[in-house]
Amino acid sequence: MLLLHRVLWLKHVYAIGESKVQLMSIYLSFYSIIGLLALLQSKLKSDQKLIASYLIFVLVSLFSGLRGSVGADTLNYLQIYQDSPGIAHFFESEWKVEPLFLFLNSLHKSIFDNEFLFLLGYSVFQAFLLMLVTRRSKNPSLFIFVYVVYFLFESPL
């Protein structure tokens, strides 16, 4: 895995700028750690599998919640959040996105009004759903592997 990481890193050093290489290295390192945890999870006892699942949950939550504005989606979600009314004006507003999503944004904005907590909260929610699906999967290691590989190739490397 380290060799693959090095090859991919060297391949892009000359093709893209230094900041892109650093970003790519962070993504590859993260996905490698999650992939290794997924592989190790299949070899562990049941109580250790639970610990590994929680560790994966925490890592995915933190990585996706703390990564900053990567790509256009983050900026779009922040714009939707900023345009969301407070909960008191929710029913008076025009709904340009899904009503439940807008309601959750309005509720969050009325309580916290913090963009960082907004992104972190949705990241934790997504990681929680990932953990639930993983725990119910017949082959959790394969599911996590497919998840990691999919997002590895979808990420802005």
Tell me the per-residue pLDDT of 14-35, one tens digit each, with 9 for 90 and over.
444 556 667 678 778 887 888 7
Q: What is the dihedral of CA 127, 90, 71, 39, to 10 degrees?
A: 10
Tell me the per-residue pLDDT of 37-76, one tens digit each, with 9 for 90 and over.
878 887 888 888 888 888 888 888 888 888 776 666 788 8
Count of domains forming the chain? 1
Q: What are phi and psi of 121, to 5 degrees?
A: -60, -45
Amino acid at 147: Y
pLDDT above 60: residue 1: no
The whole-number pLDDT of residue 149 equals: 77
Domain boundaries, position 72: 2-154
pLDDT above 90: residue 81: yes
Distances (CA, A) of 4 to 9, 25, 29, 113, 118: 8, 11, 11, 42, 35
